[in-house]
Amino acid sequence: MRMVFLGPPGAGKGTIAASAKEYYGIPHISTGDLFRSNIKNETELGLQVKSILASGGLVPDSVTIEMVRNRIAEPDCKNGFILDGFPRTIPQADALAEMTDLDAVVDFQIPKEEVVKRLSGRRMCPSSGRIYHVIFNPPKVDGKDDETGEDLIQRPDDKEEAIMHRLEVYTEQTEPLIKYYRDKGLIKEIDASVKPSEVFELLKQSLC
Ligand code: AP5
């Protein structure tokens, strides 16, 4: 199964991908996680994209496309993958179409007012990327990762100003992909405003 998760920031793509990758036995490829890992490891790519991510803007297409091309060529992707956060622009979608066929593009639908609530309360484990929410999905011990006990962090782009910018970028550059993929007959729309377990059930039903 080769699928793309599409939807505004905070729609729950990463949260649901964590369950879907186990269920379907395919890797979860988050371009945001790949960039954040490069930033953490202070690679050349990480230094190049650090300020772009913090502001909520998009990394240039050429850089992002090459990163994904290399990642999906790895052996663990031979039976499929979940692409989360890619493509985000029409040129990225055109490039992906040249790399591979897709089975489905899942559109996570959520009112934009809900996005701010979800993102401002999000906390994550810096080494594993495990995602929490201070109200909707709190860790067992306040501020600590459930498995390793590491301190949880707030992403720099989860500050209110960056959230607003990310939403504008989504509306201008990424939302047009819904029509792009609808025209190709690939879109599966799911209600992402309900509880994560219910969103996951809707995902499974939509992919039957
Ligand atoms: P990326 O990491 O992809 O960020 P995003 O798309 O903005 O998505 P998020 O990770 O913010 O949200 P999500 O939908 O995964 O929600 P989550 O599950 O965490 O990208 C970051 C940056 O990298 C971009 O801004 C850009 O700079 C760069 N980048 C990445 N890809 C790029 C590309 N292709 N081109 C160029 N640049 C690129 O959930 C959010 C919160 O809500 C959590 O706290 C969670 O616990 C909670 N939650 C989740 N589901 C529910 C639910 N059903 N009910 C209640 N709470 C929930």
Residue 160 confidence (pLDDT): 87
Residue from 50, 133, 155, 170 whose mutation best tests the ligand 1 pocket (most atoms within 8 A of CB): 133
The string of pLDDT tens digits covering residues 53-97 is: 999 999 999 999 999 999 999 999 999 999 999 999 999 999 999
The string of pLDDT tens digits covering residues 148-171 is: 999 999 998 998 889 999 999 999
Half-sphere exposure in the Cβ direction for 161 (13 Å, CA): 4
Q: Which atom of ligand 1 is nearest to the CA of 134?
A: 44
Q: State how far the Cα of 102 lies from the Cα of 56, in Å rounded to an integer.
A: 27
Residue from 28, 58, 112 whose mutation best tests the ligand 1 pocket (most atoms within 8 A of CB): 58
Query: The tokens 């007959």 sit on which residue?
Result: 185
Is residue 130 a contact partner of residue 147, using CB atoms and an 8 Å limit?
yes
Question: Which protein residues are within 6 Å of ligand 1, measured from CB?
Answer: 7, 9-15, 30-32, 35, 52-53, 56-59, 64, 85-86, 88, 92, 118-119, 121-122, 131-133, 136-137, 157, 166, 195-196, 199
Helix (H) or strand (E) holding 46: helix 44-55
Determine if residue 149 is left, alpha or beta; phi over 0 gives left, psi from -120 to 50 gives alpha, anything else beta.
left
Q: State how far the Cα of 147 lies from the Cα of 139, in Å rounded to an integer.
A: 10
CA 181 – ligand 1 centroid, Å: 20
Helix (H) or strand (E) holding 105: strand 104-109
Which of 88, 103, 13, 18 shows the shortest CA–CA distance to 56? 88
Is residue 175 a contact partner of residue 87, using CB atoms and an 8 Å limit?
no
Q: How confident is the model at residue 128 (pLDDT cuts 50, 70, 90)?
A: confident
Which of 62, 71, 4, 5 shows the shortest CA–CA distance to 34? 71
Residue 127 confidence (pLDDT): 87
Residue 75 confidence (pLDDT): 97
The string of pLDDT tens digits covering residues 109-125 is: 999 889 999 999 999 99
Cβ of 67: how many Cβ atoms within 10 Å?
19
Q: State how far the Cα of 93 lies from the Cα of 65, in Å rounded to an integer.
A: 9
Q: Which atom of ligand 1 is nearest to the CA of 86?
A: 34
Q: Does domain 2-207 have CATH number 3.40.140.10?
A: no
Q: State how far the Cα of 36 lies from the Cα of 2, in Å rounded to an integer.
A: 23
Helix (H) or strand (E) holding 4: strand 2-6
Q: Which residues are catalytic?
A: 13, 88, 122, 155, 166
Q: State how far the Cα of 174 lies from the Cα of 111, in Å rounded to an integer.
A: 16
Q: How confident is the model at residue 29 (pLDDT cuts 50, 70, 90)?
A: very high
Overall average pLDDT of the 114-140 stretch: 93
Locate 51 and state its tokens: 């300020």
Compute CA distances 89 → 4, 94, 125, 183, whole Å.
13, 9, 28, 16
